[in-house]
Chain A
């Protein structure tokens, strides 16, 4: 994923005011086609995903799931890096495909990437990224780096700390905070953070996660937090969606989904979070998927091959999303 820094589209877009949804994703699907001719295979990376964020109620929304569950593809679709195959993403009343690449949209939706050691060019001084972003987006007060200073303050750093430094001179936590500061320069309403803590030491993770919390509360920024770390998701997020091979299998308030999971996959995910206590070791063994492609190609429920409560019907037809107990679940147990 690369952010275009120059050549914005010249036409400016006015967002539909009065629209109550910040982000509205409706029946979104993305199909990747691999190979050519007879060996062509279809891979449905995102399958009928629907979710929405309110405009005047900032929240931290978690997308969780194993690797290869389609979480990052959803992020790319929201940022407009990929074209959806069907369904659409609506941002403040405008379709993403119409407004992507426009200055207003890129100012308003900013990404934070996974690996802070790879985000920055090792031969380039780190503060130059901040100045460039400020200049490219034509933020007021760019001459005295007003916005740079403000956003660094928000993430708990100061310009003196990072001035004239190369990425190799800073720790992972500091780099990730600089990366978030860069995203905040344009005063976005939505941050898309794709696995922002997975490359950071467990002892420093909480500083990033607490930062998200304070951004939501003080700056009214909504955050889509993509992760497989359910412990930090429980700590920080308001709502959570559990993804499995392109589907959202369970979506609802974090405290109830993780506190009282209904889908067997959510149960297994929670069960697999290691506890820092030697008296609570994992007891029974679990079944892992061997090949990703075979699970994507599976008919019916994608989890049937590993599910402990598998029934006859699971291998034949696909479960529908049903509403129970304040959340949506996609499982034959609750049909």
Chain B
């Protein structure tokens, strides 16, 4: 049974500048399901709409990002709930913290620079949870930190005293202290160096094992996806073009875009010439007609320029949107 069911979601950035309306088609007819206790990855180049998708699904979308169509259904212990039917921020707020939570990109801006880490924890917990006394709060934090293998001493430090990697792990600890059912992680390892990246991946894995929750992870780094994810969706220009379990994506990818992404990655010990993906992703304001990938695709035919392929299941659990892989109109 899926915990999150997204159906035909459509969300555009609509701006009106002196009567000239522009539409950025960031999320266009996206459907996917995420099951309990799995790590679901969303990959794609920057500007393909993956962060916008995450914003809409986690209920953080603000104008000019507007939801035009579709459903986002959460299922928590037999309670069904449509995120898009919630009227105001108050209702959404009840969901956050305990049911859904998000890990932002590593940055100095997340933690208050003039307050100790402890204060950030207090603020976060007191909004979503009633704390009766300090001892109870301390007990709760101590338990959480020791489960994640972090030291209690960091609670008394200021953000600038911590290294970049430690800071990101504190942010992850903060986001998961109330044991949320679903965690959204938006590029949690980008701009960190390799050693710290590994520590962060290690921590996310540990949370998934300890708290038995679901993690939806967005990053452009395919190697991180290979290490962490159970299932993977590849996004291109606002659409999912391929979805399968991690092993299939990395060893038996069908969509030309997925193979192109994987081919561009260099490896230590491999001296063969590597080429980066030719061309650039299209602007989402005027997307190419037909298959959105056809201007960069080596296999493009006349049909690809005219008609848009649908995302269809070619094997169990493997969906592809390409005419060359049995795609239909």
Contacts from A to B (Cβ < 8 Å): 65-68, 171-174, 198-199, 201-207, 209-210, 228-232, 234-235, 258-259, 268-270, 272-282, 285-286, 288-293
Contact = CB atoms under 8 A, between A and B. Distances in A.
- Max chain A Cβ within 10 angstroms of own Cβ: one of B162, B164, B271, B280: B280
Nearest to A284: B202
B126 interface: no
Contact of B266 (A232, A286, A290): A232
Contacts of B264: 202-206
11 contacts: A67-B164, A67-B165, A172-B46, A201-B45, A203-B276, A210-B275, A231-B266, A278-B246, A279-B247, A288-B165, A291-B163
Closest 8 CB pairs of A and B: A274-B223, A206-B276, A228-B193, A207-B276, A272-B198, A235-B266, A278-B246, A288-B199
B266 A282 contact: no
B135 interface: no
Nearest to B281: A171
B101 to A, nearest CB: 23
A203 B198 contact: no
Nearest to A268: B195
B194 A272 contact: yes
Contacts of B226: 274-278, 280-281
Contacts of B154: 290
B224 interface: yes
Contact of A274 (B163, B166, B221, B274): B221
A272 B202 CA distance: 11
Contact of A203 (B268, B269, B277): B277
A240 B73 CA distance: 51
Contacts of A259: 268-269
B191 A274 contact: no
Nearest to B164: A67
Interface in B205-222: 220-222
B194 A273 contact: yes
B91 interface: no
A68 B162 CA distance: 12
A181 B193 CA distance: 27
Given A231-B266, A258-B268, A171 B202 contact: no
Contacts of A199: 191
A298 to B, nearest CB: 14
A282 B199 CA distance: 10
Contacts of A282: 198, 201-202, 227
A286 B198 contact: yes
B165 A291 contact: no
A173 B281 CA distance: 11
A259 B277 CA distance: 27
A269 B195 contact: yes
B262 interface: yes
A274 B260 CA distance: 19
Contacts of B47: 171
B50 to A, nearest CB: 12
B250 interface: yes
Contacts of A230: 194, 268
A229 B275 contact: no
Contact of B268 (A205, A234, A277): A234
A298 B224 CA distance: 32
B196 A273 contact: no
A288 B194 CA distance: 11
A156 to B, nearest CB: 11
B262 A204 contact: no
